Chains A and B, each alone.
Chain A
Amino acid sequence: MRELRVSYNTRRGRVEALSDVSLALNEAEVLGVVGESGSGKSTLGLAIMRLLPRYAKVERGEVIFNGKDILKMDEESLRQLRGREIAIVFQDPYSSLNPVTRIIDHFAELFREHGYNYSREEVLRTAAELLEKMGVPREKVLDYPHQLSGGQRQRAAIALALALNPRLLIADEITTALDALVEAQIVDLLREVKKEYKTSMLFITHNMGLVAQLADRVAVMYAGKLVEAGETGQVIRNPRHPYTKALLTAVPRIGGSRSLQPIPGEPPDMRNPPPGCRFHPRCPLASEVCKRETPALRSIGDRLVACHYA
């Protein structure tokens, strides 16, 4: 992804959700994208698949996948790409699945639309196997989505996303709506998937803890901008951007001695973001230069940071 800029045209004005964001993701690599609500992280996932709503506009940038720019593809190539090369799973377990269709028919539909002519028995077998691998009881394959629990629905959605063995899986806050136990199970599941299928993943979340368990590299977003990116272990042990530092202190740890330190202030109004560095109103290190100049993304070692004081 290079210099991607996406804006939304809402009733109350133009909101810039992604401001010239550049990211790279390699094969068999899991990239965690962390940020608060409104940081633009979900927009990122949708933009890659070109699933942005009608009132959104990609103003500039490229998204190169296997040498081709997704943003410039024609409709048919895009259609073939989706579901087969790149797949996405959403936050709401209910919203990925068709309420009036059985689970097996979701698979049948997917295969058919991508040109695979399997017989009914083959579809049944494949779907049941996939469900089982994802931790859902085989019998559920003939059920309707509302007959599955939230966690099972999410797993089924993941199974559906992986059915055609895509190169890239985008997981957009897929555990946010689930309780902690199920959340942990899903993360374990993704680790297994990564090991077995070597699928690259874009794991979008607001939870730094999950990123620590799963991601090889992490990208931190704030107010539509990428503020820090690097290898997960290193970023967590040694955060360079004040926002990343604050995020890590805000994560509660069982048995931890430190008290929770919330980040003062609120995320900015994206119709009118703060001038200069967008984090400056909440940053302990903020100074005059921070208010005037937007920090560029610099590389320090293998780390990318956008701060005047990193």
Chain B
Amino acid sequence: MGLKEYVISRLLLTPAMLLILLTFVFILLRVLPGDPITMLEGKNIPEDVLARRRAELGLDKPIYQQYFNYLYSLLVKLDLGQTALEKIPVSYLILTRLPATIELTISSTIIAGAIGIIVGLLSARYQYGKFPYFARVYSSIVYSIPVFYLGLMLQAYVAKPVGLPTTGRLSPINMVLADTLPVRTGFVFIDSILSGRPDILLDYLLHMSLPSLTLGIYLSGVFSRVTYLSVEDSMSQDYTQAARGRGLKEWTVVKNYGLRNALIPILTMAGLQVAALLGGAVLTETTFNWEGVGLLVYEGILKRDYAIVQGAVTIYAVLVTLVSLVVDILYAYVDPRVRY
């Protein structure tokens, strides 16, 4: 089939997958027992206010109509409703916050990936020594630490002594400045570089270091575990011994046979982990006051605004679909058996 054909066929499949996932989210949000309005908006609010709110969210209509409205407003009008108090379109709110979350996600993935690959490489090279034990212990401990606890510890014991900022994306001055830059994509990283403001970039990187370190370390637990397990498996396969039998250097064997073949299961896991990362982002953003979608969810919970929570979950579903698309394509690139 070839890579190109696979990509095209996979792309065509995406809308169907998105539809399925959105339907699922809809079921999650509306069909299950429970009344979101009373739950979030409080039990002591008079009935007519509740009724008005329900009507606003469209919860008083029959399910089929709700479903249709949900899909229509989401996919055609790109509308996710409005916040309870200020009546700001939720989609606007999420869109302004999304770049921050994406930046955090990417940087954390890089950190987690780097740690995971190093652990995998070392586990393969020294597979009969002590290293695998260390790797397993490391991943178990890291997995057990709640991400917000890790964030807290880093804030207290690393940020203070070293002098790193602990909240927000930028210091207050730069926050204002960022809005006046000539290039404004919402991604501070891109904006500061393209606008020629290295000082803002530096400030931004300093602010980003701890949150991405937190989320990255948190994820590296699972990453390194999957890596060393997959590498352990591929290194025990016959083709590895055959490679040694051909007189290949040990590092070549590790790289081309151990790691390369392990990439397949690792990639599968990586896709799932990025999804998990989005969940962890909620907690990390809350801990560090990082103005992303995750923090928005927290604010929505605090304010008892269900429209925000609902909108965020929907967006997460879309992001997950996109990520799985990317992963599938990478997968086809890495495993030739899929496309031929």
Contact = CB atoms under 8 A, between A and B. Distances in A.
**In the complex they form, do A and B come into direct contact, defined as C-beta atoms under 8 angstroms apart?**
yes
Interface stretch (A75-83, A234-242, A290-298): A75-83
A87 interface: yes
A271 interface: no
A80 B257 CA distance: 19
B337 A84 contact: no
A87 B245 contact: yes
B69 interface: no
A160 B245 CA distance: 11
B237 A87 contact: no
Interface in A79-98: 79-84, 87-88, 90, 92, 94-98
A144 interface: yes
B241 A99 contact: no
Given A110-B246, A147-B340, A97 B239 contact: yes
Nearest to A163: B246
Contacts of B247: 79-84, 110, 113-114
B11 interface: no
Interface in B217-276: 237-239, 241-249, 252, 256-257, 260-261, 264
A174 to B, nearest CB: 12
A109 B239 CA distance: 14
B199 interface: no
A143 B260 CA distance: 18
B56 interface: no
A99 B237 CA distance: 11
Given A100-B335, A147-B340, A109 B238 contact: no
Given A100-B336, A101-B256, A144-B336, A95 B242 contact: yes
A144 B246 contact: no
A84 B260 CA distance: 24
Contact of B261 (A80, A99, A113): A99
Contacts of A2: none
B29 to A, nearest CB: 42
Specify the main secondary structure of chain B where it touches its partner.
helix
B249 A109 contact: no
A250 B331 CA distance: 50
A134 interface: no
A100 B261 CA distance: 7
A96 B238 contact: yes
Interface residues of A, number: 32
B238 A95 contact: yes
Given A51-B244, A84-B247, A95 B252 contact: no
A94 B249 CA distance: 21
Given A97-B239, A144-B337, A109 B252 contact: yes
Contacts of A101: 256, 260
A146 interface: yes
A49 interface: yes
Interface in A149-199: 157, 160-161
Contacts of A143: 340
A109 B244 contact: no
A59 B237 CA distance: 25
Interface string B119-161: 0000000001000000000000000000000000000000000
A51 B340 contact: no
B239 A79 contact: no
Contacts of B340: 143-144, 146-147
A87 B248 CA distance: 12
Nearest to B336: A144
A12 interface: no
A79 B248 CA distance: 7
Chain B CB within 10 Å — which of A51, A90, A97, A113 has the most? A113
B330 to A, nearest CB: 13
B128 A54 contact: yes
Contacts of B335: 100
B335 to A, nearest CB: 6
A194 to B, nearest CB: 21
Nearest to A53: B241
B334 interface: yes
Contact of A96 (B242, B260, B334): B242
Contacts of A90: 238, 242
A100 B263 CA distance: 10
Nearest to B241: A51
Contacts of A96: 238-239, 242
Contact of B243 (A49, A54, A98): A98
A255 B283 CA distance: 79
8 contacts: A79-B247, A80-B247, A83-B246, A83-B247, A84-B247, A90-B238, A99-B239, A144-B336
Interface of A: 49, 51, 54, 79-84, 87-88, 90, 92, 94-101, 109-110, 113-114, 143-144, 146-147, 157, 160-161
Interface of B: 128, 237-239, 241-249, 252, 256-257, 260-261, 264, 334-337, 340
Q: Which 7 A-B pairs have the closest CB atoms?
A: A95-B238, A83-B247, A82-B247, A83-B246, A96-B242, A144-B336, A88-B245
